[in-house]
Chain A
Amino acid sequence: MATTPDNLSDLVEQKYQHGFVTDIEQDIVPPGLNEDVIRLISKKKKEPAFLTEWRLKAYRHWLTINEPEWAHVNYEPIDYQSISYYAAPKNPDDAPKSLDEVDPKLLETYDKLGIPLHERARLAGVAVDAVFDSVSVATTFQTKLADAGVIFCSFSEAVTKHPELIEQYLGTVVPQRDNFFAALNSAVFTDGSFVYVPKGIRCPMELSTYFRINAANTGQFERTLIIAETGSHVSYLEGCTAPMRDENQLHAAVVELVALDDAEIKYSTVQNWYPGDENGIGGIYNFVTKRGDCRGKNSKISWTQVETGSAITWKYPSCVLRGENSIGEFYSVAVANNYQQADTGTKMIHVGRNSRSTIISKGISAGHAQNSYRGLVRVMPSASGARNYTQCDSLLIGDQSGAHTFPYIEAREPTAQIEHEASTSKISEDQLFYCRQRGLAEEDAVNLIVNGFCREVFKELPMEFAVEAQNLLNVSLEGAVG
């Protein structure tokens, strides 16, 4: 979060119960979590009282629940008291002055991923003023949005400028009590995105996290809220293919989407969080709660994701299909290589009549990784005429990894129609040989076949991501074959 000396001069030095003095002007908050830390965070962000109370309520609940355990995911216990919950923005003096100072291996990866040149500097953390184009593009972007009445800003900004919207919608899709990490996030969330699309408006461009004015490290407890009013339409892109490192190992984000009558939200994610070295040391733990509420009739929410990073991934972007004729979609490619562990999937909860859901999940397991798909399709007695189609495929590369599928299907309505298919196999020798006999080198053949395997998901991605996603897939499987 960008804070300038002007903001800080408004704040007052305070003494806290636990005996340490927090010098707010210096932005140094010692590690540890207690109510004072939360009050401090809230005060620094100038949040209204209702939000401070909301955070505290979440924190108090979090203290009463236990961290969940999953059979196929193993990790060292997290010490919640050793995390610093308020991260100061990076000192600009420490940043590289130009691309010449950036690790050449990182630049090589950007090249392989096909990241546009003008993005590389910003991604590598080079001081912003060295890159001219992105500032002017961003300004044009914001003008266009303002003309359409679309609000797209940081969550913190929305809290101060549109508190009534925050109060109305926050926590209505993912309640604080939903799960352990949602409770933690609700207590200590730092920043994220806020999008509001007014009635009948089709957002004039794809919203990308690149172009948010205050786009800097959003920190480890990201909170995002997207509201699509009646008849509106928005497409939001999150993340990027560039490998993202962070000193903070734990990332526990919460994303809430609300679609009212006839509204549509398309949420795409390409994530390449640092997965740790070849031996699995030091990667990021990505525990995310993402949920979409199809509140209105004929509303639609689509989740599309390509996940190749993180040491541990735990995420189930879900849809609650409340509105009549509402539609929920989930398209996902999840790659786990080396020692990564992924337990991901989706939940589609059918409540409204004639609700429909489609799930296409493609998992790739290589190296010593464990990749599990965990899905839930639940049809409540009220969801007459509900339809679901699920296709869940896993590709195994090498014989040291594991691929697991756990689809829960719960139906309580006789007119519902649910179809689920899953398959697991390795890349067929016949397919490999066919490509090689046509002159392709083995690694290229593997990339081609793997991309073909993921094609149904890739074609749901916004154009600019699709090409990068394919490159990302190839890069993340480097060395997996042979």
Chain B
Amino acid sequence: MTQAFLQEQFRARIQELPGTETMRVARQKAMLSFNSSGYPTRKWEDWRYTDLKTISSAEYDPIPALPSANTISHAKQQVDSLGLAKDAKSIVFIDGYLKNSFGPLPATHEIEIANLYETAEHSIRSSTSAFYEGMPLAALNTAFSAGGIYLQVAADTIITAPLHLIFVASNEPSITQQPRVVINLKPGSQLQVIQHFIGSTPSISWTNAVTQITQEAGSTLRLYRIQDESETQLHTELLSSKLAADANLELGYVDFGGSLVRNDARIDLAGPGASCSLFGLSIANKGQHIDNHIHINHIEPRTVSQQAFRSIIGDQGRGVFNGKVVVQKNAQKIDAQQSSDNLLLSERSEINTKPELEIYADDVKCTHGATVGQLDEEQLFYLRARGVDETAARGLLTFAFANQIINRLQIPELKERVMREILQRLPGRQQWDELL
């Protein structure tokens, strides 16, 4: 969508967007910010390998129509197909709108769950310019977001059952869904969240999501994000997280779908002893472009970060990885590790990876590694010598490569589901299914 189009849409339709008058002012500020910077272009260092032309030149409805009964029932089918347990706690968004018709919001005395735009204080606090500075797409989401959720866990409370946030892209063509999630963990609390991005739009639409997390001292969050949208979907998102002392974040990314995917994660280790561990798996086939851009900021001493990302790039697929670790001057005695491992399966596959380090302290331990390659010839031969045919052997080894990441999913039902999805996308699986 061109800037001119967006500006015009914003002016004409801002009243359709939820929230108070103060919220509207915040939206306007965000829109101004987006206008002054415009879309990121390939001249921007962080966008060197990812072109947003398909988004900036097309025309999508930035504020989609409210889901019809038909859309809702269709969405329900899609949610059901996720196969979640009957008692699973889930919150559903359809086309970016928070939909309560699947059941009431599963709030309890331990976890506050509210419609973001119905809680003035939280919605405004999460929409300040400091948050979307340098991130025009996040500014756009702040301006246009029509649906959001606010989650807060009380101090020292452990929520044992994972919370599912499901974002369904309906069959509506050419729309933009811009959901927003704000999570606040009080000191010592623990929460598990799974974000599912699903959809099966036949035509092209755009998801532009934002998740904002604040973790107070000693809190623990496990957040897995599984993106399995249609192959024509455009997907951009920002996950921004601030951790206080001794807080811990485990973040898992799995991407199968989308034609153009760009995941930005910005993590501030803002208290001594804070730690984060990230892992990700992308499978890019047939012209898919999947870009993971991670930025971890060690602000305080004794903070620890770990990143392990793997990608499998098939025919005409493109993978991009950027793992930037910045260690500020006073962040002494920190430990930062990164690895980016990539498998190219075809002549027309492409990978661009850049694990970066910017270090201003000295008592640090920082390492990173990146590999690009193909399957191990020796391992392939071993399997073939045991009677497995070549295609199946390749499929098996490719699966083994992916499995290193899948194994890190600590929620068993989710792990199984992801494993099944991946198996479906790997070549020659019929032959080697039984071998697993």
Contact = CB atoms under 8 A, between A and B. Distances in A.
In the complex, A touching B, CB below 8 Å? yes
Interface of A: 379, 381, 394, 396-426
Contacts of B357: 394, 403-405, 422, 424
A404 B373 CA distance: 25
Given A409-B352, A411-B372, A416-B344, A425 B366 contact: yes
Given A402-B359, A412-B349, 12 more contacts: A381-B347, A394-B359, A396-B359, A403-B357, A415-B374, A416-B344, A416-B373, A418-B373, A420-B369, A422-B355, A422-B368, A425-B365
Interface in B322-371: 329, 332, 342, 344-371
A406 B353 CA distance: 10
Interface of B is mostly: strand
Contacts of B329: 399-400
A426 B352 CA distance: 30
B362 A399 contact: yes
A183 B372 CA distance: 35
A411 B350 contact: yes
Contact of B367 (A379, A409, A422): A422
B355 A411 contact: no
A418 B374 contact: no
A404 B359 contact: yes
A327 B351 CA distance: 22
A408 B356 CA distance: 9
Contacts of A409: 351-354, 370, 372
Contact of B374 (A402, A403, A414, A419): A414
B356 A405 contact: yes
B295 to A, nearest CB: 14
A407 B367 CA distance: 13
Interface of A is mostly: strand
Contacts of B361: 396, 399
Interface residues of B, number: 34
* 8 residue pairs, one from A and one from B, having the closest CB atoms: A414-B344, A396-B362, A418-B372, A424-B366, A399-B362, A417-B373, A405-B357, A420-B370
A195 B357 CA distance: 39
A414 B352 contact: no
B350 to A, nearest CB: 5
Contacts of A394: 357, 359
Interface string B360-398: 111111111111111000000000000000000000000
A407 B371 CA distance: 12
B426 to A, nearest CB: 15
12 contacts: A379-B372, A394-B359, A405-B357, A408-B352, A411-B352, A414-B344, A414-B345, A414-B346, A418-B370, A418-B371, A423-B366, A424-B357
A394 B358 CA distance: 11
Contacts of B352: 408-411
B363 A413 contact: no
A422 B362 CA distance: 16
Nearest to A419: B371
Contacts of B344: 411, 413-414, 416
Contact of A406 (B332, B342, B345, B356): B356
